[in-house]
Amino acid sequence: MSDVINIQGVSWRREERELLKDVNWQVKKQEHWALLGLNGSGKTTLLNIVNGYIWPTSGTVSVLGQPYGAVDLRDLRKLIGWVSSSLQEKLYMTDMAQHVVISGKYATIGLYEQLLEEDEGQAIDLMRTLGCAHLWDREYRTCSQGEKQKLLIARALMANPSILILDEPCNGLDLFSRERLLDSIHTLTLQDHAPTLIYVTHHTEEILPVFTRTLLLRRGEVVGSGATDEVMTSQMLSHFFEAPVQVERHEQRVYVRAVK
């Protein structure tokens, strides 16, 4: 099968600023990737290009074997789930948790379709997988930030996407909520027919062992790409952060401390 994502020589300019510079990135089937970059690194710009919301100034993009420019992006986007904080702000706070989840099948804010038994069955299965089935019949506004994130992931999965992008899902979570959400993401990757996951973050310790490949993005340029164990080293991350750091590994996760 063709690459899940194939980006070749992509640059993107806005007025005089070049926000992406000659980016190359290939994601193969059955690979889960982490995308690591600080604020302003170009992560969101790159995701917008993957989803076809903006067009590269130069270079080529192919997703799920479909070259951009020769495919209807509206159809292709249905195969890409993108969970971000901006979506959370658009949802109706008084909707029931399961309705938030089911609405993902129809790509609507709010649920306007007649509830089908099969939709409810799929929703409860997804909520069980993500550890949030206890939220059934709870108003969305009463859920914690971590619970809302789990519901948004379940919502994205209702459409059976081939790619699931988790855009800084742990932002705003305390330590314990973060670990519960990461446990749910790990469980998700173990499911049969799990989508290809792209986990976007600027915290190395959030990169679970299941994310076996990592892309380092800094000021719009790729400064590292490949096997996570090879990319997440003291030498590579010191270059990435432009400051000396020491990598410490605990349970196959990378923690970074500054070297004085």
Predicted local confidence at residue 136, as pLDDT: 95
Whether this model's pTM surpasses 0.75:
yes
Instruction: Write out the two tokens for 217.
Output: 């993005």
pLDDT in tens, 11-62: 999 888 899 999 999 999 889 999 999 988 999 999 999 999 999 999 999 9
Residue 1 has pLDDT above 70, yes or no: no
pLDDT band of residue 90 (cuts 50, 70, 90) is confident
Residue 218 has pLDDT above 90, yes or no: yes
Residue 108 has pLDDT above 90, yes or no: no
Predicted local confidence at residue 86, as pLDDT: 75
DSSP 131-176: T-GGGTT-BGGGS-HHHHHHHHHHHHHTT--SEEEEESTTTT--HH
Average pLDDT of the chain, as a whole number: 92
CA–CA dist 257, 237 (Å, integer): 11
Predicted local confidence at residue 57, as pLDDT: 94
Q: Which residue has the tokens 């992406």?
A: 20
Rounded to an integer, the average pLDDT of 123-132 is 93
Rounded to an integer, the average pLDDT of 165-180 is 93
Instruction: Write out the two tokens for 146.
Output: 């971590």
Predicted local confidence at residue 239, as pLDDT: 95
Q: Which long-range contacts (CB under 8 A, 24 or more apart) does 16-25 make?
A: 18/220, 19/45, 19/220, 20/45, 20/46, 20/49, 20/56, 20/220, 20/221, 21/219, 21/220, 21/221, 22/59, 22/221, 23/59, 23/217, 23/220, 23/221, 23/222, 24/222, 24/225, 25/215, 25/222, 25/225
Predicted local confidence at residue 71, as pLDDT: 86
State percent of the chain over pLDDT 70: 99
pLDDT in tens, 175-197: 999 999 999 999 999 988 899 99
Rounded to an integer, the average pLDDT of 150-162 is 93
List, in sequence order, every residue forming a beta bridge with 221; answer none if it has no partner. Answer: 218
Residue 87 has pLDDT above 80, yes or no: no
Which range has the worst mean pLDDT, 1-5, 11-15, 57-61, 121-125?
1-5
CA–CA dist 80, 96 (Å, integer): 24
With beta carbons less than 8 A apart as the criterion, state whether 231 and 31 touch. Answer: no
State percent of the chain over pLDDT 90: 75
List, in sequence order, every residue forming a beta bridge with 188; answer none if it has no partner. Answer: none
Predicted local confidence at residue 107, as pLDDT: 80
